[in-house]
Amino acid sequence: MTRWRTYTDRLIVLAVILAAWQVGSFLVGPYWLSSPWAVAARFTAQILNGELIVQGGYTVEEALIGTVIGGVPAVLLPFLLRRHPVIVAILDPFMVGGYGAPKLAFAPLFILWFGIGIESKIALVASVVFFIVYFNTLAGVRALDPRLVQMAQIAGAGERHVARHIVLPAAVPHILAGFRIAVPYAIGGAVIAELISSNRGLGYLVQTGAMNFDTTSVFAAILAATLIVHGANWLLNAAERALLRWRPPPRAVLETGT
């Protein structure tokens, strides 16, 4: 009941946004702001002729590889350093610096170092994802209830058992939350790196569209990137449902759906 109500209300919000966009487009002229109808038509055509699928595929590939390269060490590091708080403390200002530095400003450097191919995009995505996931995993490892560790040690668990059966499961919700935050940045990072220098990907479509004063094509590429983020989020929700069955259901407030 409430579930369907949520969906219908979402449709109403969508209709309002589209209507406002349409009116805006009419007022300033389609040359400056393409209309939703034209974007939908262009989007469908570019899906059907495969253009968006191929270019979107490149962007997804860059974002995915970069997320793995940045995310895996970001998850492992807090676990390896769990018993060495001094090292964590030494690294902390550098990690905070790495987290705070505007990574997108590094894009030209990455292109200089790694070329205009896929490597520079992966490097940018990895550098963005790493710090977000690192700090979330670290928070998860730190939020561990020490009483559970003591219980396990008394029961005869060694260091490896504690890491595997206590620390890891307790950190999983934090790790998933980290990836949930990181994924839009990963797609966004890949698109921006393509924008700066590339001959393929959604960022390339945005760039060529803008050069040709073709706002319809720019919006179609942005729509594709947005839908990719939605899809990734949906996958993360599915992973969360599978991995966190043990958690009490959230006290039904909001549907944080797909």
Partner 1 sequence: MSDPTLLEIRNLGKRFPARHGREPSPWVIQDLSFSVGTGEFLTIIGPSGAGKSTLLNMIAQIDTASAGEIVFNGETVNSHDARMLRPGFDRRIGYVTQDDNLLPWRTTIDNVLFPIEVQGRLNDETRAQADVLVRAVGLAGFERYYPHELSGGMRKRAALIRTLAYDPPVILMDEPFAAVDAQTRTQLQADLLTLWGLGRKTIIFVTHDITEAIALGDRALVLSRQPTRIAAEHAIPIPRPRNVQDIFALEGFAAVYQRIRSDIQ
CB atoms within 10 A of CB 227: 13
Residue of the chain from 16, 48, 151, 227 that contacts partner 1 (CB under 8 A): 151
Residue 81 or 157 having the CB closest to partner 1: 157
Smallest gap, in angstroms, from Cβ of residue 245 to partner 1?
A: 8
Q: Is 152 in the site for partner 1 (CB under 8 A)?
A: yes
Residue 94 or 246 having the CB closest to partner 1: 246
Residue 10 or 161 having the CB closest to partner 1: 161
Residue of the chain from 148, 181, 196, 222 that contacts partner 1 (CB under 8 A): 148
Long-range contact set of residues 166-169: C-beta below 8 Å, sequence gap at least 24:
167/79, 167/82, 167/141, 168/79
Q: Distance (Å, rounded) from C-alpha 84 to C-alpha 79?
A: 10
**Count of residues touching partner 1 (by CB under 8 A):** 21
For the chain, the distance separating the N- and C-terminal CA atoms, rounded to the nearest angstrom, is 18
Q: Is 166 in the site for partner 1 (CB under 8 A)?
A: yes
Q: Which part of the chain contacts partner 1 (CB under 8 A), choosing from 15-23, 50-58, 162-170, 182-190? A: 162-170
Q: Is 153 in the site for partner 1 (CB under 8 A)?
A: yes
What is the total residue count of the chain?
Answer: 258
Q: Is 154 in the site for partner 1 (CB under 8 A)?
A: yes
Q: Distance (Å, rounded) from C-alpha 161 to C-alpha 222?
A: 46
Q: Which part of the chain contacts partner 1 (CB under 8 A), choosing from 105-113, 128-136, 201-209, 239-247? A: 239-247
Q: Is 240 in the site for partner 1 (CB under 8 A)?
A: no
Given the rule CB under 8 A, which residues bind partner 1? 145, 147-148, 150-158, 161, 165-166, 169-170, 245-248
